[in-house]
Chain A
Amino acid sequence: MMKWISFIIIFRFYSLTAQAAPVDEYLRQLASEAKQDDPSFSSFDAMRGEKIFTSTHVGKRGKRVSCTSCHGKNLQVDGENIFTGKRIAPLSPKANPKRLSKIKNMKKWLRRNFKDVYNRDGTAREKGDVLLYIMNK
């Protein structure tokens, strides 16, 4: 009985401390995908991420846009959807702790927004790069 209880206690503590931030967990997943795509992949790069985030492309609407068109250049303040006018909460986790807090949401927005801006899916490497950039902004 005592053995069993201490096992539970240890397990709970372990799972608490081992709960890495979701963004780190997702970056790990993306890194292994990126390595599969390209064996020479070493690590993500926030500089490449910045380029992905700020460069303009012909998006899904046939208009030249970049991520900054809606999110703005300063990720610590609100953005605005240029098509609907809806306010977008800050993207930086430093200003908005809800950002990058769920893998499900990170996957959803990266899938949608790569389509919107690049009119194609993002690769694992691109997603990791841009996440790293957002994390540190």
Chain B
Amino acid sequence: MKTTTLFLSALLLAVPLAIVTTADDDYEKREMYQKYQPMNNTSGRLDDDTKAEDRYKREKSNRCGAYGNRSMRALQKHEALFRNECGSCHMAYQPEFLPKRSWKKMMATLEDHFKTDATMDPEDHKKIEAFLIANASDSGTPNSRREAYREISRSIPPGSTPLSISKTYKFKKEHREIPIRLIRQKEVKSIANCAACHRKAEQGYYGERDLIIPNYGRWDD
């Protein structure tokens, strides 16, 4: 009798708790699930991006290994939070593009974030800042993503603290030939809308293979 009641009460305790936790972590789990799905490869062959993706994942798990399992989970959770918070109004730009000082300034000026209020809960603020700084262009060990964005991050002079990737020298140079009408058109709106043309920008790939400008087509240099 006693054991049955104990068991019952344990069950009753556990069930509502489980409901609450799943509801809370729902988006985080989904994000992670999406993130670690292999990318769609329509051509059926292993292209450069897929190789690059594999390499980046390997490096990421190596890096996490150095931190231990607990910090790895924490870091991944922060990534989900970063994608959810920053990605609700614009693409969640890869932190590897800009140096630590840029991300610090960004997080200190969220009240006027590109003329929008982007303030957040202090706890989330701390976590996102930690995530951005840990993944900035000038922190951590070199990896393929930092390597891929190196030309942009290295074109930032030591004395400047850009808040826009699009204000860097290399970015401007790469985009200077694109007619303004193609940028201002309603399908794109602004040069900051990477994913409008770079179809794999969200996943971190900006190669010409996946570059299609709306109402224009492929862009060849």
Contacts and interface: CB of A to CB of B under 8 A. Distances in A.
A61 B115 contact: yes
B116 A8 contact: no
A81 interface: yes
Among A8, A61, A111, A112, chain B packs the most CB atoms within 10 A around the CB of A112
A61 B23 CA distance: 36
A2 interface: yes
B69 interface: no
Interface residues of A, number: 25
B117 A112 contact: yes
B117 A86 contact: no
Contacts of B116: 60-61, 83, 112, 116
B12 A12 contact: yes
Contact of A5 (B5, B91, B187, B189): B5
Among B2, B116, B119, B196, chain A packs the most CB atoms within 10 A around the CB of B116
A106 to B, nearest CB: 12
Given A9-B12, A12-B16, A86-B90, A111 B190 contact: no
A112 B88 CA distance: 13
A85 B116 CA distance: 14
A85 B12 contact: no
Contacts of A5: 5-6, 9
A109 to B, nearest CB: 9
A101 to B, nearest CB: 8
A60 B115 CA distance: 6
A20 interface: no
A12 B196 contact: no
Interface residues of B, number: 29
A108 B190 contact: no
B16 A16 contact: yes
Contacts of B66: none
B74 interface: no
Interface in B6-54: 6, 8-9, 12-13, 16, 23
B221 interface: no
A61 B117 CA distance: 10
B64 to A, nearest CB: 28
Contacts of A61: 115-116
B192 A9 contact: no
B193 interface: yes
A9 B9 contact: yes
A81 to B, nearest CB: 6
A137 interface: no
A84 interface: yes
Contacts of A1: 2
Interface string B183-221: 000111110110010000000000000000000000000
Given A9-B12, A85-B186, 8 more contacts: A8-B9, A12-B16, A61-B116, A83-B116, A85-B189, A85-B193, A112-B119, A116-B116
